[in-house]
Amino acid sequence: MKRYNKVLILFGLLVTLLPFIFVRQAKAAETDPVYDKIKANGQLVVGLSADYAPYEFHATIDGKDEIVGFDISIAQKIADDLGVDLKIEELGFDALLGALKTGKIDVVISGMAATDERKKEVNFSNTYMEVQQKVIVRAEDADTFQSTADFDGVAVGAQKQTTQEELAQTELTGSIVTSLQKVPDLITNLTSGKIDAIVMEGPVADAYVMSNDKLAIAENVTFENGTKETAVAISKEAPVLLEKVNASIDTIVNNDLLTQYQAEANALMFGDENTVEQGFFAKYLPFYISGTGYTIFLAFVGVLFGSIGGSLLAFMKLSKNKVLKIIAAVYIEYVRGTPLLVQIFIVYFGTGVLGLDLSKVTAGCIALALNSAAYVAEIIRAGINAVNKGQLEAARSLGMNQIQAMRFIVFPQAIKNILPALGNEFVTVIKESSVVSVIGVSELIFQTGVVQGASFKPFLPYVIVSLIYFVLTFALSRLLGVAERRMKTSD
């Protein structure tokens, strides 16, 4: 039986993966589906990670949160030249190329360097900017680091899957590299002494040093391969789009429009808004409010559909039918045995590969519900199994059939075991929903990142968000406690 189970699990895995393999190959070949889609929808979807002032970052303009920066000006110019609207999709930098390859976004404009590695996967437009990479350190250490040879045993940070990460690994000999997803997190690590240096894109490093006098650039540390060419990334299946984007970039470069774009970005970055200290809460409250709304929504939908799916799975697992039993068991084991993060990516990008165009929020809800269903199924199954077997037998011997016995005798007792555990599951889903931020759903953690980037304050936003989560989960546990006590009195 054991071996039989293993074979089945393997088979289940294979069946889940097959469509991904086939659909991938079935695509390609046509002329320029991406360009056609842009024209048909009347919008250009640009993917980026807005943690990168002055390239792309959040700023409050006329009381409204907006993503600005010179990359945005470039994106707007390209959209204008194409005669379509601009739509921005915000993702983690490490998720951008995946999103591009699966058609979630049309182009990446995110300070991305055209590297040989990436050229194997996607095309790049003509270069719009050449930049130097720098090392930033705490101000008091500015003179400690004189060359790339001074990093033996030093903890160095870089953004995940970037050219900076590669430089830290290859040129800062002997350094211990920590890679994080968001630039503000790197800054917190540096200011709090968890790491001692960060490899950073020149303009971004300058921006941080200018806005924070605890930081400095290690001027004498220069990289051998530190010059990078920034360009727009485009799918290999989009030759027409590539040509159009190149035309726009050429206009920008030939007319020196970038200087103007940069000046505008700098003005927004160091505009007086960022220096008004007491305004923090007033200014960023809307981000937290909207984030809280999304988090509650995600958790609610996740638990609701998770419970429905979970009940189904539990009954499948308890049923006498072998096939149903096995399907449920494989599903539950698979979901519980893989990280939620991976499941979210599979739902979001996987559905894209299959040609379904799910929004980020929908994908997030589905992933959470699918995940929660596995846990709810186990809660229900355990709850039912915990009811003494004699109860069922007694009911049957009184002449009830299986369904009646379950419904009138076993289930009312099981529900007392199930409800508290289900409540805990709700609390868990509230917290776990934070993972959905990786695909850019603007729930609490995502908004925290936005506030960090916009305020140049890396730590305070985390404290605030932790309090919000605590209030949410604490309030919920209390509510559940009350419900439980009510049920006890009904005994």
Site for ligand ARG in 282-321 (CB under 6 A): none
What DSSP designation does 484 have?
Answer: H
Q: Which stretch binds ligand ARG (CB under 6 A): 44-52, 60-68, 212-220, 334-342?
A: 44-52
Contact pattern for ligand ARG over residues 218 through 237, marking x by CB under 6 A: ----------x---------
Is there a contact between 195 and 157 (Cβ–Cβ < 8 Å)? Answer: yes
Task: Output the residue with the shortest Cβ distance to ligand ARG.
Answer: 162
C-alpha–C-alpha distance, residues 391 and 434, integer Å: 42
Asked if residue 52 binds ligand ARG (CB under 6 A), the reply is yes
Site string for ligand ARG, 409-438 (x = CB under 6 A): ------------------------------
Stretch of 83-91, 158-166, 232-240, 349-357 contacting ligand ARG, by CB under 6 A: 158-166
Q: 228 or 457: whose CB is closer to ligand ARG?
A: 228
Least distance (Å) from ligand ARG to the CB of residue 51?
5
Q: Are 56 and 264 in contact (CB under 8 A)?
A: no
Alpha helices in 83-173 (DSSP H): 96-101, 116-119, 163-171
Rule CB under 6 A: say whether 188 interacts with ligand ARG: no
Instruction: Note whether 201 binds ligand ARG by CB under 6 A.
Output: yes
29-38 burial string, b = 16+ CB within 10 Å, else e? eeebbbbebb
Instruction: Choose among 44, 70, 46, 47: nearest CA to 57.
Output: 70
Q: Which of 70, 93, 294, 305 binds ligand ARG (CB under 6 A)?
A: 93
189 binding ligand ARG? (CB under 6 A): no
Q: Which residues pair with 56 in a beta bridge?
A: 52
Least distance in angstroms from the C-beta of 119 to ligand ARG: 12
Q: How many CB atoms lie within 10 A of CB 76?
A: 16
User: Residue from 162, 175, 188, 343 that binds ligand ARG (CB under 6 A)?
Assistant: 162
Q: Is 9 exposed, middle or buried (0-12, 13-18, 19+ CB in 10 A)?
A: middle
Torsion of CA 313, 318, 320, 325, to 10 degrees: 40
Query: For residues 98-117, which are near ligand ARG according to CB under 6 A?
Result: 110-113
Binding site for ligand ARG (CB under 6 A): 48-49, 51-52, 55-56, 93, 110-113, 159, 162-164, 201, 228
